[in-house]
């Protein structure tokens, strides 16, 4: 089984868009959300050559937002990380949801723990790099997917800016839209004073733990 894992609002849909386009295989959304359909089934402002018809479901990626610790036959993992100062506030509407519902702060770190302990093939992507280093992202994804579709890769790279815009405008899927307009530092600047001290301390304490030092380094936390 192959999976894409990320805390919500970390670029999961964008990565799925390019997986489907490059591999010409669908990706599957959350099985309990009917609108979380394969990306190629959405309606876009322009025809996009996904070229998806017959496929073996075992070759396709499945999306998860919570670490699927209950599944044992996973052999490939694509994991996407976003700055916790941005995404935790975004998902929780500026509330200190440290260890509560499905989108609690702890869920973000549970996903990182899952990635760290995963023994199969894995690819780590950072949301910010996906937006700012588009060509590098496409090349990394293509190599990890182990594809032999050079013409399709060339098409994607030649049309990369347009494809990013088109990916934002797909209609008919379950997602919250691009609320930050691809700004990398958007939510933290709006943090209410009544939670700022507690939130900053929470992040600082987490970043001192060895398993999260790579996040601390990337985001200078």
pLDDT in tens, 80-106: 999 999 999 888 999 999 997 778 999
DSSP state of 69: T
- What pLDDT does residue 102 have? 75
How many structural domains comprise the chain?
1
CATH number (domain holding residue 113): 3.40.50.300
Tell how far CA 183 is from the center of its chain.
16
- Residue pair 91/48 in contact by the 8 Å Cβ criterion: no
For the chain, residues with pLDDT lower than 50 are: none
- Per-residue pLDDT of 21-58, as tens digits, reads 999 999 999 876 777 899 999 999 999 999 999 999 99
What pLDDT is stored for residue 177 in this prediction? 54
The reply to whether the predicted model has a pTM over 0.85 is: yes
Task: Please give the residue range of the domain that contains residue 10.
Answer: 2-219
């Amino acid at each position: 089984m192959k999976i894409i894992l990320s805390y919500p609002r970390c670029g999961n849909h964008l990565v799925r868009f390019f997986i489907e386009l490059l591999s010409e295989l669908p990706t599957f959304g959350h099985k309990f959300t009917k609108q979380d359909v394969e990306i190629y089934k959405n309606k876009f402002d322009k025809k996009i050559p996904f070229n998806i018809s017959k496929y073996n479901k075992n070759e396709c990626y499945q999306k998860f937002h919570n670490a699927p610790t209950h599944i044992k036959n996973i052999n490939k993992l694509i994991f996407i990380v976003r700055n916790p100062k941005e995404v935790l506030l975004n998902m929780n509407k500026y509330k200190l949801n440290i260890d509560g519902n499905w989108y609690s702060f702890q869920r973000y770190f549970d996903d990182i723990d899952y990635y760290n302990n995963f023994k199969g093939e894995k690819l780590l992507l950072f949301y910010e790099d996906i937006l700012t280093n588009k060509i590098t992202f496409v090349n990394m994804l293509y190599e990890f997917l182990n594809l032999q579709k050079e013409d399709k890769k060339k098409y994607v790279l030649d049309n990369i800016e347009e494809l990013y815009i088109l990916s934002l405008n797909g209609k008919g899927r379950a997602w919250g839209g691009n609320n930050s307009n691809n700004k990398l530092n958007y939510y933290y600047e709006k943090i209410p004073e009544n939670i700022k001290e507690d939130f900053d301390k929470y992040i600082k304490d987490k970043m001192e733990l060895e398993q999260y030092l790579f996040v601390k380094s990337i985001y200078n936390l």
